A and B are shown apart, each in its own frame.
Chain A
Amino acid sequence: MAILGAINPMLSVGLEGGDKAWRLADYVRRGGYAALRRILEEKLPQEYVINEVKKSVLRGRGGAGFPTGLKWSFMPRSFPGDKYVVCNSDEGEPGTFKDRDLLRYDPHSVIEGMAIAAFAMGATRGYNYIHGEIWEIYERFEEALDEARAAGFLGKDILGSGFSFELFAHHGYGAYICGEETALLESIEGKKGQPRFKPPFPASFGLYGKPTTINNTETFASIPYILNLGGEHFLEVGKANNGGTKLFSVSGHVNRPGNYEVPLGTPFVTLLEMAGGMRGGRKLKACIPGGSSSPVVPAATMMECTMDYDSISKAGSMLGSGAVIVMDETTCMVKALERLSFFYYEESCGQCTPCREGTNWLYKVVHRIEHGQGRGDDLDLLASITTNIMGRTICALGDAASMPVQSFVKHYGDEFAYHIEHKKCLVPVDVQRAGSGFFTATV
């Protein structure tokens, strides 16, 4: 895979070579490490860096969309002692696969972004937590770190500036919950990945109890471009309150699933066209615009959306990580929800009772509806379970499990009712099968 298309790209410029252009020499040739070099050689103050990031209105690319510059300003940068910068590359939200491509084709942009962040926040040590399932990418990142150390971009006294920053890779090993930032910290500490209660927030009590800032891979990768082009320029590429370009991972029933870099505010219709349009010329039925946790949006509403935090939020969903899961008319919405509900049940860390028990209930009830054993009051039961999970747990996984259930039932309630009444799918099973396209290669 690769980054298959772009409009006004920043992150993916020069990556056309795919697997051949990820090394340090290639990155330097396309202007890499210039931002870090300029900051250190011109002795720019920390405040300057943080202000540029604030001006860019870069919002966290991991899903929450929190303004990065503001997050950085929470770090007590004059606090003596260890401080940490951590990159969250534990990309396991169904539908999201952008960080994998960034680390694969441009690992040094992440390293440079982390080094700049460390400088701005006075951190001397960092970790990149990489999803265990993408092992080849983890190994590549380790290789890129070796290159950066050898070239003097990491380690002690970087480029003779007196600034030191050590960076290491840490791998996950199969736990979705570790994408939650405090679970991720627990995991780096060598424990079960169970989220911590907040406050205290990581900026005051993070990794090993020290001030820590955690950002997503794409967020860090955007930093060098913001410093090179200027925060205002980055903002202007996107739209007000939604700075810059963003990578969108398009999956599901499209002709060319893959990553696309477009300015925030680009119409969904344009993104869908870039992804080759609907597979087999079929009709769009629904779209999950920001990863599996974000509420599903029916086709008619989705076709009116632009891809930015504000527009998707107005449509009743979330831009999240930019994972666009496209479903056509061959999709059984009950089956789709059943699979998602199983995922959250499987991945609940078990710490909070409403989530541990509730995700199991959600899955069981959707499962029995899908399998022809639904009961008349099951939709009310689902609604009641979700409201009893939401807002009653330490982290957002409980909410993430509930939002798909609420939105699927809200928009496709008739399909669920049909299932309960007729004990079968509204969309015939052979139609669903044809939709996946799996057997067309041999049949």
Chain B
Amino acid sequence: MLTSESLKRIDREIAKYPADQKQSAVMAALAIAQQERGWLSSEAIEFVAAYLGMAPIAAYEVATFYNMYDLEPVGKYKLSVCTNLPCMLTGGVDAGEYLKRKLGIGYNETTPDGLITLKEGECMGACGDAPVMIVNNRRMCSWMNPEQIDKLLAELK
């Protein structure tokens, strides 16, 4: 199900916890699985659960509780825009609207070419850089005015 490289990364996570607490690595393992496969299918979640010796339902509970896990396929790039109050005061909501217009999609939708999925995110802990957005759960983009957004979209191919 997962490449040996991903399994090696999961093993490194398991090693952080006491030997009888492998389940502690489930959040990291699910994140690694999602990074490799693009999203978390039931099969991927079950695989992670088996790998860590936990019940599939326990891993599924985790995957559904935390909002950065994707339980459905997303575009090649997932763009999460913060619209929470501090960002909103500095244009977070406007940035979301601007993106919707540019991409011709709404939140939780993917462009027809499968390139970009747009999500409304919650506070990302970077309010001083507002408006902020995150690409694929990994890259934080700061001060996203129209110019910066255009630049980012040109880069995401």
Which residue numbers of A lie inside 8 Å of B, CB to CB? 1, 82, 91-97, 99-100, 125, 127, 131-136, 168-176, 187-193, 208, 249-253, 257-259, 288, 292, 323, 325-327, 331, 336, 339-340, 343, 346-347, 349, 433, 435-439, 441-442
Contact = CB atoms under 8 A, between A and B. Distances in A.
B91 A438 contact: yes
Contacts of B127: 94-97, 249, 251, 257, 323, 325
Majority secondary structure, A binding face: mixed
9 contacts: A92-B125, A133-B68, A133-B121, A249-B127, A323-B86, A336-B85, A339-B88, A340-B85, A438-B91
Contact of B90 (A170, A175, A251, A433): A251
Interface string B111-143: 000000000011111111111001001111010
Contacts of A175: 65-67
Given A208-B21, A250-B128, A340-B85, 17 more contacts: A1-B129, A92-B123, A94-B84, A97-B129, A133-B125, A133-B137, A170-B16, A173-B66, A173-B68, A174-B122, A176-B123, A190-B52, A190-B54, A249-B128, A439-B91, A441-B146, A442-B146
A293 B89 CA distance: 17
A50 B28 CA distance: 34
B126 A97 contact: yes
Nearest to A442: B146
A174 B125 contact: no
Interface residues of B, number: 54
B58 interface: yes
B1 interface: no
Contacts of B65: 175, 192-193, 349
A170 B140 contact: no
Given A1-B129, A91-B125, A339-B85, A438 B68 contact: no
Contacts of A327: 89
B23 interface: yes
A249 B83 CA distance: 18
Contacts of B126: 1, 97, 100, 133-134
B27 interface: yes
B53 to A, nearest CB: 11
Contacts of B137: 132-133, 135, 173
Contacts of A326: 89
B26 interface: yes
Contacts of B54: 190
